[in-house]
Structure 1
Amino acid sequence: MPGDQRDHIDFRQSTLNGPAQGQGIQFNDYRTIVERVAEPDHARLGVKALRIRDYPTAVRHLGRAIEHDPERAANHYYLSLANLGGVHPCVLKVDTARLSLEHLNRALTALPSCTYARVTYLLIHDSLASRYGNGRKTLSQAEKQLVRQAGKRHAQEITTHVPAPDNAWWRALSTLVPDAHEGRRR
């Protein structure tokens, strides 16, 4: 064969392939062996840390995930939850709550139909308003429908990581999750 063609060697099934996906040995254009190390999946690691309530680790990994993919709505949504640190939004410094709202805005900019990010935004915003006696007591039927569209899985996440049982949005979300009060105590 002519010298301008590259050898293609598939190492995916070999023992040379390392434990991380995409890791292995490749040949560069000069026919020398180079090792390619895969970047860790920061979004996945951040969500795992969030699920076990390791909020500082979740913030670190999700921040890195956003550096690599700033347009992914889910990364901004999960980072907003991690920034809250499992604390009622009223207890947080205003800057921390605003940072969470900013990431939710970015999620909604990237994916306007992201109902769970919208509901989380409204919950945090309303919780901050309740600091000054302006919080909502009830939701309209359209707002309750928006909460149902967020889905059970996201309702579980939101009620777990944004503990605000005094909030109308939180109470509506908790109707989708039978053990919402149990999730707060874990």
Structure 2
Amino acid sequence: MRCHTHTNMSNAERGVVLPIALIMLVIISFAGLLAARNSATFEQFSNNMRTNQVARVSAEDALRYCERVARASVEGSAAFGTDVDRVEDTNVISADTEAAISGGVWNTRSNWAATGANLITVTPQYTGSEAQSNAQIRNAPTCIIQAMVNDRFLITSRGLSNDAAVDANGLLTAGSEVWLQSILTPIVPTLCPNNGVC
């Protein structure tokens, strides 16, 4: 009779192991799915950061280039060729107010289209290995230089990521874009000795 009781106990124990194993399998599956989802989200976040960084570096490159073009236009240098002719100096921003600056040519979207009269397209130059040449930026950065009062320039640059797409009007349809602006005073004001007489 003892053997018969022991057999019933084993049958009861075997009936509990299967549901527990199935529950553990479901829990492990959910944990695996959650880990895969978190990994995909992290990769997407990293890709967004990378494309944004490419656009930022591109915009900074264009901003520095156009600052050099603005200086060349004041100095009468021919170092930048036709880019110096694209400096908008007929429609001068007349004041340092937000309204005057926002009315500049940089704030009209059609001026950022490929056919914009004042648009300067910057082509980054790479020197060095073949890998650097193959990794060049696919969407060249652009900038617009507009003259301001007091011999200053408002420089606006736009950088795009490599996966960016722009329509015919200059509107971003995909990817990342970064806009940067600076106000440049090419000639540093100095004080003259002898009560301002130079």
TM-score bracket, normalised by the shorter chain, equals under 0.3
Higher strand share: 2
Give me the TM-score of the superposition, normalised by structure 1.
0.22
Question: Which structure has the larger Rg over C-alpha atoms?
Answer: 2
TM-score between the two structures when normalised by the length of structure 2: 0.21
Higher relative contact order, structure no. (Cα contacts within 8 Å, ≥ 6 residues apart): 2
